[in-house]
Amino acid sequence: MTGNVPTREMNPNLPVTSDEIAADVKRCADAGASVFHIHARDPQQKPTLNPKVFQEIVQKIKAAAPDVIIQLSTGGRAGKDWEDRAAPIRLLPEMGSFTTGSNNLPGMIYENSPQFIEFLAGVFHQTGVKPEIEVFEAGMINNALFLQKKGLLTPPLHFNFVLGAPGAMPGTARNLVFLTDSIPPGSTWTATGIGKAEIPLAAMSIAMGGHVRVGMEDNLFLPDGSPASNAKLTETVVAIANKIGRQIASPDEARALLSLNPQHRDRVKTA
Ligand code: ZN
Protein backbone atom coordinates (compact mmCIF):
# COMPACT_ATOMS: atom_id res chain seq x y z
CA MET A 1 0.00 0.00 0.00
CA THR A 2 2.64 2.52 1.10
CA GLY A 3 6.14 1.05 1.49
CA ASN A 4 8.96 3.02 3.03
CA VAL A 5 10.24 5.10 0.12
CA PRO A 6 7.42 6.82 -1.82
CA THR A 7 6.06 10.17 -0.63
CA ARG A 8 2.89 12.03 -1.38
CA GLU A 9 5.02 14.56 -3.29
CA MET A 10 6.01 11.76 -5.71
CA ASN A 11 2.39 10.67 -6.16
CA PRO A 12 -0.54 12.30 -4.34
CA ASN A 13 -2.49 9.00 -4.38
CA LEU A 14 -0.11 7.46 -1.80
CA PRO A 15 -1.97 6.48 1.40
CA VAL A 16 0.08 7.57 4.43
CA THR A 17 -2.16 7.96 7.49
CA SER A 18 -4.08 5.08 9.07
CA ASP A 19 -7.36 6.50 7.76
CA GLU A 20 -5.99 6.82 4.23
CA ILE A 21 -4.48 3.32 4.27
CA ALA A 22 -7.74 1.75 5.53
CA ALA A 23 -9.85 3.58 2.92
CA ASP A 24 -7.42 2.52 0.17
CA VAL A 25 -7.45 -1.11 1.40
CA LYS A 26 -11.24 -1.07 1.05
CA ARG A 27 -10.99 0.24 -2.54
CA CYS A 28 -8.43 -2.44 -3.46
CA ALA A 29 -10.41 -5.20 -1.71
CA ASP A 30 -13.47 -4.18 -3.74
CA ALA A 31 -11.29 -4.42 -6.87
CA GLY A 32 -10.21 -7.99 -5.97
CA ALA A 33 -7.12 -7.80 -3.71
CA SER A 34 -7.06 -10.18 -0.74
CA VAL A 35 -3.65 -9.83 0.98
CA PHE A 36 -2.38 -6.42 2.12
CA HIS A 37 1.33 -5.76 2.79
CA ILE A 38 1.47 -2.87 5.26
CA HIS A 39 4.15 -0.34 6.26
CA ALA A 40 3.70 2.44 8.81
CA ARG A 41 4.70 6.12 8.68
CA ASP A 42 5.04 8.79 11.35
CA PRO A 43 3.26 12.19 10.99
CA GLN A 44 6.22 13.46 8.89
CA GLN A 45 5.73 10.51 6.43
CA LYS A 46 8.96 8.91 7.75
CA PRO A 47 8.98 5.06 8.04
CA THR A 48 8.35 3.82 11.56
CA LEU A 49 8.28 0.43 13.30
CA ASN A 50 6.27 1.81 16.25
CA PRO A 51 3.77 -0.98 17.07
CA LYS A 52 1.21 1.61 18.18
CA VAL A 53 1.10 3.06 14.66
CA PHE A 54 0.76 -0.43 13.17
CA GLN A 55 -2.04 -1.23 15.64
CA GLU A 56 -3.97 1.88 14.65
CA ILE A 57 -3.65 0.99 10.96
CA VAL A 58 -4.72 -2.61 11.62
CA GLN A 59 -7.75 -1.53 13.63
CA LYS A 60 -8.92 0.79 10.87
CA ILE A 61 -8.36 -1.83 8.15
CA LYS A 62 -10.36 -4.35 10.20
CA ALA A 63 -13.21 -1.84 10.43
CA ALA A 64 -13.12 -0.91 6.72
CA ALA A 65 -12.51 -4.37 5.21
CA PRO A 66 -12.94 -7.07 7.90
CA ASP A 67 -12.26 -10.06 5.60
CA VAL A 68 -8.85 -9.17 4.15
CA ILE A 69 -5.55 -10.80 5.10
CA ILE A 70 -3.14 -8.38 6.79
CA GLN A 71 0.59 -8.85 6.25
CA LEU A 72 2.83 -6.54 8.29
CA SER A 73 6.32 -5.58 7.10
CA THR A 74 9.54 -6.35 8.99
CA GLY A 75 11.53 -4.40 6.38
CA GLY A 76 14.83 -2.83 7.38
CA ARG A 77 14.47 0.70 6.04
CA ALA A 78 12.50 1.81 9.09
CA GLY A 79 15.09 0.67 11.65
CA LYS A 80 17.87 -1.82 12.36
CA ASP A 81 17.12 -2.92 15.92
CA TRP A 82 16.17 -6.62 15.94
CA GLU A 83 13.31 -6.29 18.42
CA ASP A 84 11.96 -3.23 16.61
CA ARG A 85 11.86 -5.17 13.34
CA ALA A 86 10.14 -8.11 15.06
CA ALA A 87 7.58 -5.88 16.80
CA PRO A 88 4.98 -5.96 13.98
CA ILE A 89 5.03 -9.80 14.10
CA ARG A 90 4.40 -9.78 17.86
CA LEU A 91 1.08 -8.04 17.08
CA LEU A 92 0.05 -11.43 15.59
CA PRO A 93 -1.07 -10.46 12.08
CA GLU A 94 -2.04 -13.38 9.85
CA MET A 95 1.16 -12.86 7.82
CA GLY A 96 4.47 -11.01 8.00
CA SER A 97 7.18 -10.33 5.45
CA PHE A 98 10.55 -12.04 5.98
CA THR A 99 13.62 -11.35 3.81
CA THR A 100 16.05 -14.25 4.22
CA GLY A 101 19.28 -12.56 3.15
CA SER A 102 21.05 -9.31 2.26
CA ASN A 103 21.39 -7.36 -0.96
CA ASN A 104 22.00 -3.83 -2.20
CA LEU A 105 19.10 -1.43 -2.68
CA PRO A 106 19.39 2.16 -3.94
CA GLY A 107 21.75 3.96 -1.54
CA MET A 108 21.90 1.22 1.08
CA ILE A 109 22.69 -2.34 2.03
CA TYR A 110 19.49 -4.19 2.88
CA GLU A 111 21.10 -5.99 5.76
CA ASN A 112 19.66 -9.29 7.04
CA SER A 113 22.54 -11.19 8.67
CA PRO A 114 22.41 -14.96 9.29
CA GLN A 115 22.03 -14.22 13.01
CA PHE A 116 19.15 -11.80 12.42
CA ILE A 117 17.21 -14.05 10.05
CA GLU A 118 17.52 -16.95 12.51
CA PHE A 119 16.22 -14.66 15.28
CA LEU A 120 13.29 -13.46 13.15
CA ALA A 121 12.47 -17.00 11.98
CA GLY A 122 12.28 -17.88 15.68
CA VAL A 123 9.75 -15.10 16.25
CA PHE A 124 7.61 -16.36 13.33
CA HIS A 125 7.91 -19.89 14.76
CA GLN A 126 6.93 -18.88 18.32
CA THR A 127 4.00 -16.72 17.23
CA GLY A 128 2.66 -18.94 14.42
CA VAL A 129 2.52 -15.93 12.07
CA LYS A 130 2.86 -17.09 8.45
CA PRO A 131 6.00 -15.65 6.86
CA GLU A 132 6.07 -14.48 3.27
CA ILE A 133 9.68 -15.20 2.31
CA GLU A 134 10.90 -12.20 0.30
CA VAL A 135 13.44 -13.37 -2.26
CA PHE A 136 15.57 -10.66 -3.89
CA GLU A 137 18.42 -13.07 -4.79
CA ALA A 138 18.49 -16.83 -5.41
CA GLY A 139 20.55 -17.60 -2.27
CA MET A 140 17.68 -16.38 -0.12
CA ILE A 141 15.75 -19.54 -1.11
CA ASN A 142 18.59 -21.69 0.24
CA ASN A 143 18.66 -19.67 3.46
CA ALA A 144 14.92 -20.32 3.91
CA LEU A 145 15.39 -24.05 3.31
CA PHE A 146 18.18 -24.07 5.91
CA LEU A 147 15.81 -22.44 8.44
CA GLN A 148 13.20 -25.06 7.54
CA LYS A 149 15.79 -27.80 8.22
CA LYS A 150 16.43 -26.25 11.66
CA GLY A 151 12.68 -26.45 12.37
CA LEU A 152 12.17 -22.67 12.36
CA LEU A 153 10.07 -22.52 9.17
CA THR A 154 7.23 -24.95 8.56
CA PRO A 155 6.23 -26.09 5.06
CA PRO A 156 4.39 -25.37 2.85
CA LEU A 157 6.54 -22.25 2.44
CA HIS A 158 5.26 -19.14 0.69
CA PHE A 159 7.78 -17.18 -1.41
CA ASN A 160 7.57 -13.72 -2.96
CA PHE A 161 10.09 -13.09 -5.75
CA VAL A 162 10.91 -9.39 -5.62
CA LEU A 163 12.58 -8.59 -8.94
CA GLY A 164 13.70 -5.42 -10.65
CA ALA A 165 15.05 -3.46 -7.67
CA PRO A 166 18.32 -1.68 -8.59
CA GLY A 167 21.02 -3.76 -6.81
CA ALA A 168 19.21 -7.11 -6.99
CA MET A 169 17.90 -9.59 -9.60
CA PRO A 170 16.25 -7.99 -12.67
CA GLY A 171 12.57 -8.67 -13.38
CA THR A 172 12.98 -10.96 -16.39
CA ALA A 173 11.11 -14.08 -17.51
CA ARG A 174 14.35 -16.08 -17.28
CA ASN A 175 14.85 -15.11 -13.63
CA LEU A 176 11.24 -15.83 -12.70
CA VAL A 177 11.37 -19.30 -14.31
CA PHE A 178 14.70 -20.05 -12.61
CA LEU A 179 13.41 -19.01 -9.17
CA THR A 180 10.08 -20.85 -9.43
CA ASP A 181 12.04 -23.97 -10.46
CA SER A 182 14.22 -23.58 -7.35
CA ILE A 183 11.57 -23.85 -4.61
CA PRO A 184 10.30 -27.11 -3.08
CA PRO A 185 7.20 -28.77 -4.57
CA GLY A 186 4.09 -27.74 -2.65
CA SER A 187 5.33 -24.18 -2.03
CA THR A 188 3.21 -21.22 -3.09
CA TRP A 189 4.68 -18.17 -4.79
CA THR A 190 3.98 -14.58 -5.69
CA ALA A 191 5.94 -12.25 -7.95
CA THR A 192 6.60 -8.57 -7.31
CA GLY A 193 8.15 -6.40 -10.01
CA ILE A 194 9.74 -3.12 -9.00
CA GLY A 195 9.21 0.00 -11.12
CA LYS A 196 8.66 -0.69 -14.82
CA ALA A 197 8.88 -4.45 -14.16
CA GLU A 198 5.71 -4.43 -12.03
CA ILE A 199 2.94 -5.13 -14.55
CA PRO A 200 5.00 -7.24 -17.03
CA LEU A 201 6.17 -9.49 -14.17
CA ALA A 202 2.62 -9.74 -12.84
CA ALA A 203 1.43 -10.81 -16.30
CA MET A 204 4.15 -13.49 -16.46
CA SER A 205 3.23 -14.73 -12.99
CA ILE A 206 -0.48 -14.89 -13.86
CA ALA A 207 0.31 -16.87 -17.04
CA MET A 208 2.61 -19.24 -15.10
CA GLY A 209 0.07 -20.04 -12.38
CA GLY A 210 1.58 -17.88 -9.65
CA HIS A 211 0.12 -15.08 -7.55
CA VAL A 212 0.85 -11.37 -7.81
CA ARG A 213 1.61 -8.35 -5.69
CA VAL A 214 1.20 -4.85 -7.05
CA GLY A 215 1.07 -1.48 -5.34
CA MET A 216 2.63 1.89 -4.75
CA GLU A 217 5.46 0.55 -2.56
CA ASP A 218 6.91 -0.93 -5.75
CA ASN A 219 5.79 1.34 -8.59
CA LEU A 220 4.11 4.74 -8.90
CA PHE A 221 2.99 4.61 -12.56
CA LEU A 222 0.48 2.80 -14.70
CA PRO A 223 1.77 1.16 -17.90
CA ASP A 224 0.71 4.26 -19.92
CA GLY A 225 2.92 6.46 -17.74
CA SER A 226 0.11 8.17 -15.82
CA PRO A 227 0.19 8.31 -12.00
CA ALA A 228 -0.88 5.05 -10.38
CA SER A 229 -3.10 4.40 -7.41
CA ASN A 230 -3.24 1.13 -5.50
CA ALA A 231 -6.77 0.50 -6.75
CA LYS A 232 -5.84 1.20 -10.40
CA LEU A 233 -2.86 -1.17 -10.17
CA THR A 234 -5.15 -3.82 -8.68
CA GLU A 235 -7.71 -3.29 -11.46
CA THR A 236 -4.92 -3.62 -14.06
CA VAL A 237 -3.80 -7.07 -12.89
CA VAL A 238 -7.37 -8.25 -12.28
CA ALA A 239 -8.13 -7.37 -15.94
CA ILE A 240 -5.07 -9.33 -17.12
CA ALA A 241 -6.09 -12.35 -15.01
CA ASN A 242 -9.64 -12.20 -16.36
CA LYS A 243 -8.40 -12.04 -19.97
CA ILE A 244 -6.14 -15.06 -19.42
CA GLY A 245 -8.82 -17.04 -17.61
CA ARG A 246 -7.33 -17.03 -14.08
CA GLN A 247 -9.88 -16.49 -11.32
CA ILE A 248 -9.47 -13.94 -8.53
CA ALA A 249 -9.29 -15.49 -5.05
CA SER A 250 -11.51 -14.14 -2.29
CA PRO A 251 -9.70 -13.55 1.02
CA ASP A 252 -10.96 -16.92 2.33
CA GLU A 253 -9.85 -18.69 -0.83
CA ALA A 254 -6.45 -17.00 -0.42
CA ARG A 255 -6.32 -18.24 3.20
CA ALA A 256 -6.82 -21.79 1.96
CA LEU A 257 -4.26 -21.41 -0.85
CA LEU A 258 -1.68 -20.07 1.60
CA SER A 259 -2.45 -22.68 4.32
CA LEU A 260 -3.18 -19.97 6.88
CA ASN A 261 -4.42 -21.12 10.28
CA PRO A 262 -8.17 -20.29 10.34
CA GLN A 263 -7.93 -19.65 14.10
CA HIS A 264 -5.53 -16.77 13.44
CA ARG A 265 -8.00 -14.85 11.27
CA ASP A 266 -8.90 -12.22 13.88
CA ARG A 267 -6.03 -12.76 16.33
CA VAL A 268 -4.19 -9.53 15.46
CA LYS A 269 -3.84 -7.01 18.30
CA THR A 270 -5.64 -3.78 17.42
CA ALA A 271 -5.21 -0.36 19.04
ZN1 ZN B 1 7.37 -3.71 2.00
pLDDT digits (tens, 9 = 90+) for 29-48: 999 999 999 999 999 999 99
- The whole-number average pLDDT for the span 96-102 is 97
Summarize pLDDT for 146-173 with one digit per residue, the tens.
Answer: 999 999 999 999 999 999 999 999 999 9
Spacing, Cα 44 to ligand 1 middle (Å): 19
Alpha carbon of 72 to ligand 1 centroid (Å): 8
One-letter identity of residue 268: V
Q: Is the pTM of this model over 0.85?
A: yes
User: Residue 231's pLDDT is what?
Assistant: 98
**For residue 269, how far is its CA from the centre of ligand 1 (angstroms)?**
20
The answer as to CATH 3.40.640.10 being correct for domain 72-264 is no
Nearby residues for ligand 1 (ion, Cβ within 5 Å): 73, 75
Q: What is the pLDDT of residue 79?
A: 81
The pLDDT tens digits of the residues spanning 41-86 come to: 999 999 999 999 999 999 999 999 999 999 999 987 778 899 999 9
